[in-house]
């Protein structure tokens, strides 16, 4: 096997496409090197060596060691330095590099190769003893932490004590001899704590560091991260070993991170932070506040500290040039790391940058205009479910804001909630349905579950590249970071803002687009759906084959859905029209009526309400298809429960409360979801169907007159298992249709179809299709009845199933292709055997789930139908499914 791939001096054995063996970082280092960009020479040990390391009981294979030694000789030849020896010692960085980025999860060792001798040589060679001793103490500290497992705190304590003794405020004030003394103290600490010396042999240091990087793959936090993100353990991590370049070599040296475009807004401008006279870890650790790279960035952050553009104009121009070259090469926005050593720029990493959805939209659209990518590629660049965050409300611009704190706008959108101080409290609140804002000094990977559970995240420390910022953007959760004007007093659970002190549970609003913290709840507005969003959606609409309808029960829902681009109503659940206000009483009278006469009395009251509802829907939809489903309530949802409710209904019906209670009890079902619902209700009480059909047809007449557009109602019969059930109900509908047409003196086209939501219906689809003019897959019930899992009780054990690896996804959220999916395929095929032009759609929750939508495309459904807010998601997912 070949274990090691080298790069340097414009040559590289690997390329970006090799990221599966070399990991993301290694593959892109090779690519940049081959492009002729300034990359310190180095090598990558492929990820599979990590697996071998574990198979060998945590030993590095001899073959790997031999290839690494050969690779290091190559680095020595390019740099003219010798590893761990001589007058010009070569120092190395050792970094992890998994296939996908696992931010902050794994280990790094810098300045490797320093010992009591090479530190002197390095100081001479650089003409800067202070730099050499600073590097040595950094190395000892990192190595002791990562390889020897000593932790960082004791070292930090020593450093803080010494600084205090010497009267220094910052690290940069320490002299060479002062750093030398700290090195002495550090080594002493190691001897005392571990009863062993700090290793002086560079080879020992090297294998120690490589082993530690491999070992970090199985660290608890890395394991958790992989579980959260579905990253297979078998990938292992690659290891990148590179010649060190030094950002801490005086004031002409620096280190930084940048995005080639703004990751929050998508604006085309270099965006990033850097630190003068520092090493990469200092930026991430947040010890010093980084400075802005561009002058514009400095001005907008109001910082006094000079930008890199001003301070190091040549390196800045070189950085800009390289960034645009990288963008064009990768055809995407990049997230880069760099170091400037005495004025010379070195690239240490590039990868495609994480971004907010708004930024993703803008970048994709801009890159189409720049002719860097095609419209199809732009459509593929947007994660459909991420559109959710664009549809998030923002703060109404007309309100006066009571700002109690300001920070950086790390992730867009506004959120309101009660403040909590720990991730655990956020999780608890979510399970109780309370909305919270998670407040932390800064977040760490241990907070992930709490960040997920919160409406918004607020930190008082950290920059745009801090953990909180990166993670929140990925999750699409509004986030403000580095709110330095506020202080968290965690002991007393207080937040001290400008002119206020808040305690746990107090309500705040954060504006992740402006970086502001506001007191209390603030009026919000819905987002603008034109601009970049409109253009991407336009391309998606042109590409997709399936149409997208919505599940809407009211004219207001229908109007919202149309503004999101719905092309019809795929499901109107008529029972939902009866939950509101007055109507529930009439509904109860109808359900509880003891005979047909009583029922007809209640139905007569319901008819005008239904007609009005349907007229509203037809009018809003203006000739677009509207599927109305006949009543399908599990009856218990409507029944009066409390004594007060029973008394009220009894009074309205002129009955004794006791008699009514008996009637309620008689209607009790042991398993209402499999009980007297759907078409079974229509067969028991055909007068209900007759009322609904009359309301639909009369509304169609009224709406056609009002809008001038022909209305073709699609009437859908629920929970059909037998063709004879559908025949019976259809006969009632046809009869009423004839009556209404005669009365109105007008012809109405209409369709009668059925839901396929029982396995029997799916299997007998060819027979049912003889009566049904369309099918709509009710995948909520079809999942329930195929699995035999109650959709209302599943949440008690589905999470356990997922945690224990019994199932991967909740089948009520993402379609079970193998089982439920097969039934759908069978039904679609058999249905079309009988009626080849039959319209097929889906209206269960899965109609808004991107993976399920892809499945619907592959089996050739005509449309998907989902809730109004998911219509844009479905439009995009349907387009991606055909590309």
Cβ distance to ligand PEP smaller for residue 486 or 758 = 758
- Does residue 844 interact with ligand PEP by CB under 6 A? yes
Q: Choose between 653 and 719: whose C-beta lies nearer to ligand PEP.
A: 719
Residue placing its CB nearer to ligand PEP in the complex, 128 or 781 = 781
For 838, phi and psi rounded to 5 degrees? -65, 135
With the C-alpha atoms ordered 28, 34, 40, 41, is the resulting torsion angle positive or negative? positive
C-alpha span between 548 and 546 (Å, rounded): 7
CB of 701 closer than 8 Å to CB of 695: no
Q: Which of residues 751-770 bind ligand PEP (CB under 6 A)?
A: 757
Binder of ligand PEP out of 394, 779, 867, 880 (CB under 6 A): 779
Q: Which residue is listed with tokens 């997912």?
A: 877
Stretch that binds Mg ion, among 315-323, 526-534, 666-674, 776-784 (CB under 5 A): 776-784
Residue 628's binding partner among ligand PEP, Mg ion, none (Cβ under 5 to 8 angstroms by kind) is none
Residue nearest to Mg ion (CB): 781
What does 437 interact with, of ligand PEP, Mg ion, none (CB < 5 to 8 A by kind)?
none
Euclidean distance between CA atoms 600 and 691, whole angstroms: 9
**Helix, strand or coil for residue 236?**
coil
* Only segment of 21-29, 663-671, 743-751, 770-778 that touches Mg ion (CB under 5 A): 770-778
Closer CB to Mg ion, residue 480 or residue 756?
756
Is residue 843 part of the annotated active site? The answer reads yes
Q: What is the closest distance, in whole angstroms, from the C-beta atom of residue 842 to ligand PEP in the complex?
A: 8
Q: Are 482 and 407 in contact (CB under 8 A)?
A: yes
Whether residue 572 lies in the annotated active site: no
Q: In what order do the strands lie in the sheet with 344-352?
A: 291-292, 271-276, 254-259, 334-341, 344-352
- Given ligand PEP, Mg ion, none, residue 573, with its beta carbon under 5 to 8 Å by kind, binds ligand PEP
Burial call 573-597: b when 16+ CB within 10 Å, e when fewer: bbbbbbeeeebbbbbbbbbbbeeee
Q: How far is the CB of 717 from ligand PEP (least distance, A)?
A: 12
254 Cα distance to chain centroid: 33
d(CA 335, CA 349): 8
778 touches Mg ion by CB under 5 A = yes
Q: Is 633 in the site for Mg ion (CB under 5 A)?
A: no
What are the structure tokens assigned to 386, written together?
Answer: 């991420």
Q: Is 814 in the site for ligand PEP (CB under 6 A)?
A: no
Phi/psi of residue 390, nearest 5 degrees: -75, -30
Based on CB atoms, which residue is closest to ligand PEP, 7 or 578?
A: 578
- In angstroms, give the least distance from the CB of 212 to ligand PEP: 52
676 binds ligand PEP (CB under 6 A): no
CB closer to ligand PEP out of 256 and 778: 778
Identify the active-site residue in 467, 572, 679, 856. Answer: 467
Q: What's the min distance (Å) between Cβ of 752 and ligand PEP?
A: 17
In the complex with ligand PEP, the residue whose CB is nearer, 94 or 719, is 719
Sequence-ordered alpha helix ranges (H) in 294-439: 295-301, 308-311, 313-330, 357-369, 375-381, 387-390, 423-431
Contact string 714-753 vs ligand PEP (x = CB under 6 A): ----------------------------------------
User: What x/- string results for residues 190 through 229 when contact with ligand PEP is judged by CB under 6 A?
Assistant: ----------------------------------------
- By CB under 6 A, tell whether 434 contacts ligand PEP: no
- Residue range at the interface with ligand PEP (CB under 6 A); choices 58-66, 308-316, 620-628, 772-780: 772-780
Nearest to 443 by CA among 421, 411, 412: 421
Q: Which residues of 338-362 are buried (b: 16+ CB within 10 A; e: fewer)?
A: bbbbeeebbbbbbbbbbbbbbbbbb
The smaller minimum CB distance to ligand PEP, of residues 30 and 758, is found at 758
- Contact 367/373 with Cβ under 8 angstroms? yes
Using the contact rule CB under 6 A, the part of the chain among 134-142, 323-331, 585-593, 773-781 near ligand PEP is: 773-781
* Residue at token pair 């007609």: 611
Q: 402: which 2 tokens?
A: 């009571």
Q: Which is nearer to ligand PEP, 469 or 571 (CB)?
A: 571
Binds ligand PEP by CB under 6 A, chosen from 78, 843, 861, 864: 843
781 sits near Mg ion (criterion: CB under 5 A) = yes
Rule CB under 6 A: is residue 780 a binding residue for ligand PEP?
yes
User: What whole-number distance in Å separates Cα of residue 225 and Cα of residue 245?
Assistant: 30
332 counts as binding Mg ion under rule CB under 5 A = no
In terms of DSSP H, where are the helices of 217-307?
220-229, 280-285, 295-301
C-beta separation of 827 from 861 below 8 A: no
Report if residue 550 touches ligand PEP, rule: CB under 6 A. no
| CA distance from start to end of the chain | 38
Report the residue number, 571 or 621, with the smaller CB distance to ligand PEP. 571
- C-alpha 67, offset from chain centre: 40
**Only segment of 27-35, 345-353, 635-643, 775-783 that touches ligand PEP (CB under 6 A):** 775-783
Between CA 112 and CA 89 the distance in angstroms is 10
Shortest CB 812 distance to ligand PEP, Å: 10
* Cβ within 8 Å of residue 661, ≥6 positions away: 646
Structure-token pair, residue 71 = 């690779």
Rounded alpha-carbon distances, angstroms, from residue 142 to 147, 354, 747? 8, 28, 83
Per DSSP, which regions of 512-603 are E strands? 516-519, 524-525, 547-551, 569-573
Which partner in ligand PEP, Mg ion, none is near 332 (CB below 5 to 8 A by kind)? Answer: none
Which of 50, 679, 843, 856 is flagged as catalytic? 843
Q: Does 575 bind Mg ion (CB under 5 A)?
A: no
Q: Which listed option, ligand PEP, Mg ion, none, makes contact with residue 280 (CB within 5 to 8 Å by class)?
A: none
Evaluate the CA torsion angle 321, 323, 324, 325 in order and state its sign: positive
Site size toward ligand PEP, by CB under 6 A: 10
Shortest approach of ligand PEP to residue 271 CB, angstroms? Answer: 45
C-alpha closest to that of 93 among 235, 246, 218, 283: 246
Residues 747-766 that bind Mg ion (CB under 5 A): 757
Q: Which is nearer to Mg ion, 512 or 718 (CB)?
A: 718
Closest CA to 323 of 268, 245, 256, 270: 270
Q: Name which of 573 and 600 has its Cβ closer to ligand PEP.
A: 573
Q: What x-and-dash track marks residues 567-586 binding ligand PEP by CB under 6 A?
A: ----x-x-------------
What are the helix and strand counts (H, E) for the chain? 35, 34
In the bound complex, what is the minimum distance in angstroms from residue 856's beta carbon to Mg ion?
Answer: 17
Residues of this chain that bind Mg ion (CB under 5 A): 757, 778, 781
Residues of this chain that bind ligand PEP (CB under 6 A): 571, 573, 632, 757, 778-781, 843-844
Residues designated catalytic = 467, 843
């Amino acid at each position: 096997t070949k274990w090691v791939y080298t790069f340097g001096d414009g040559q590289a054995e690997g390329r970006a496409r090799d990221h599966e063996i070399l990991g993301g970082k290694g593959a892109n280092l090779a690519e940049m090197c081959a492009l002729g960009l300034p990359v310190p020479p180095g090598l990558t040990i492929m990820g599979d060596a990590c697996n071998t390391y574990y198979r060998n009981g945590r030993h590095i294979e001899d073959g790997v060691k031999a290839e690494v030694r050969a690779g290091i000789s190559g680095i020595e030849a390019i740099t003219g330095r010798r590893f761990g020896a001589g007058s010009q010692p070569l120092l190395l960085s050792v970094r992890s590099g998994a296939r996908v980025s696992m931010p902050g999860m794994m280990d790094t060792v810098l300045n490797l190769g320093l010992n009591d001798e090479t530190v002197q040589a390095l100081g001479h060679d650089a003409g800067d003893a202070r730099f050499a001793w600073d590097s040595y103490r950094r190395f000892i500290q990192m190595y002791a932490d990562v390889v020897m497992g000593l932790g960082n705190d004791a070292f930090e304590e020593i450093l803080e004590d010494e600084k205090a003794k010497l009267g220094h405020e910052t690290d940069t004030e320490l002299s060479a001899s002062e750093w030398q003394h700290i090195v002495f103290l550090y080594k002493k600490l190691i001897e005392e704590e571990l009863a062993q010396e700090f290793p002086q042999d560079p080879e020992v240091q090297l294998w120690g560091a490589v082993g530690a990087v491999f070992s970090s793959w199985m660290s608890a936090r890395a394991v958790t991260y992989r579980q959260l993100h579905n990253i297979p353990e078998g990938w292992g991590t690659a290891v990148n070993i590179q010649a060190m370049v030094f950002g801490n070599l005086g004031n002409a040296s620096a280190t930084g991170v940048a995005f080639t475009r703004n990751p929050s807004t998508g604006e085309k401008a270099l965006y990033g932070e850097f630190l003068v006279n520092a090493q990469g870890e200092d930026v991430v650790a947040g010890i010093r506040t980084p400075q802005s790279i561009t002058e514009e960035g400095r001005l907008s952050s109001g910082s006094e500290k000079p930008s890199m553009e001003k301070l190091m104009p040549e390196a800045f121009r070189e950085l800009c040039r390289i960034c645009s070259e990288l963008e064009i090469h990768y055809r995407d926005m990049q997230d880069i790391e760099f170091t400037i050593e005495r004025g010379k720029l070195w690239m240490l990493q590039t990868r495609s940058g994480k971004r907010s959805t708004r930024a993703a939209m803008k970048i994709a659209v801009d890159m189409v205009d720049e002719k860097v990518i095609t419209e199809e590629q732009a459509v593929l660049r947007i994660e459909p479910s991420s559109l959710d965050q664009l549809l998030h409300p923002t703060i109404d611009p007309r309100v006066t804001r009571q700002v109690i704190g300001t920070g950086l706008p790390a992730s867009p959108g506004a959120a309101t909630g009660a403040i909590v101080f720990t991730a655990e409290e956020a999780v608890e609140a979510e399970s109780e349905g309370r909305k919270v804002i998670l407040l932390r000094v800064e977040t760490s990977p241990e907070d992930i579950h709490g960040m997920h559970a919160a409406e918004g995240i607020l930190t008082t420390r950290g920059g745009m590249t801090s953990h909180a910022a990166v993670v929140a953007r990925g999750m699409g959760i509004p986030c403000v970071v580095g709110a330095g004007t506020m202080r968290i007093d965690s002991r007393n659970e207080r937040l001290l803002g400008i002119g206020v002190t808040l305690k746990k549970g107090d309500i705040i609003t954060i504006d992740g687009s402006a970086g502001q913290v506001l007191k209390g709840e603030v009026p919000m507005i819905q987002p603008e759906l034109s601009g970049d969003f409109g253009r991407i959606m336009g391309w998606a609409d042109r590409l997709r084959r399936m149409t997208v309808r919505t599940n809407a029960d009211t004219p207001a829902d229908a109007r919202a859905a149309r503004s999101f681009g719905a092309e019809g109503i795929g499901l109107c659940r008529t029972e939902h029209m009866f939950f509101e206000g007055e109507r529930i009483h009439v509904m109860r009278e109808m359900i509880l009526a003891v005979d047909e006469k009583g029922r007809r009395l209640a139905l007569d009251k319901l008819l005008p309400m239904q007609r009005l509802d349907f007229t509203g829907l037809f009018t809003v939809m203006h000739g677009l298809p509207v599927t109305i489903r006949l009543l399908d309530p599990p009856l218990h949802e409507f029944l009066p429960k409390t004594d007060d409710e029973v008394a009220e209904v009894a009074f309205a019906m002129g009955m004794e409360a006791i008699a009514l209670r008996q009637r309620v009890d008689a209607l009790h079902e042991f398993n209402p979801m499999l009980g007297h619902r759907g078409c079974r209700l229509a067969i028991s009480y055909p007068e209900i169907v007759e009322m609904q059909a009359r309301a639909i047809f009369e509304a169609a007449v009224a709406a056609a007159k009002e809008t001038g557009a022909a209305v073709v109602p699609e009437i859908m019969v629920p929970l059909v298992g037998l063709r004879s059930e559908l025949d019976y109900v259809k006969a009632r509908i046809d009869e009423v249709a004839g009556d209404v047409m005669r009365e109105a003196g007008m012809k109405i086209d209409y369709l009668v179809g059925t839901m396929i939501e029982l396995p029997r219906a799916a299997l007998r689809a060819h027979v049912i299709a003889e009566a049904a003019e369309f099918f709509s897959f009710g995948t909520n019930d079809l999942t329930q009845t195929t699995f035999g899992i109650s959709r209302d009780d599943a949440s008690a054990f589905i999470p356990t199933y997922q945690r224990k690896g019994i199932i991967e996804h909740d089948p009520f959220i993402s379609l079970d292709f193998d089982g439920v999916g097969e039934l759908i395929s069978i039904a679609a095929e058999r249905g079309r055997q009988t009626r080849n032009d039959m319209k097929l759609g889906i209206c269960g929750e899965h109609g808004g789930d991107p993976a399920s939508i892809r499945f619907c495309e592959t089996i050739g459904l005509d449309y998907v139908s989902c809730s109004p807010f998911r219509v844009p998601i479905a439009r995009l997912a349907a387009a991606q499914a055909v590309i």
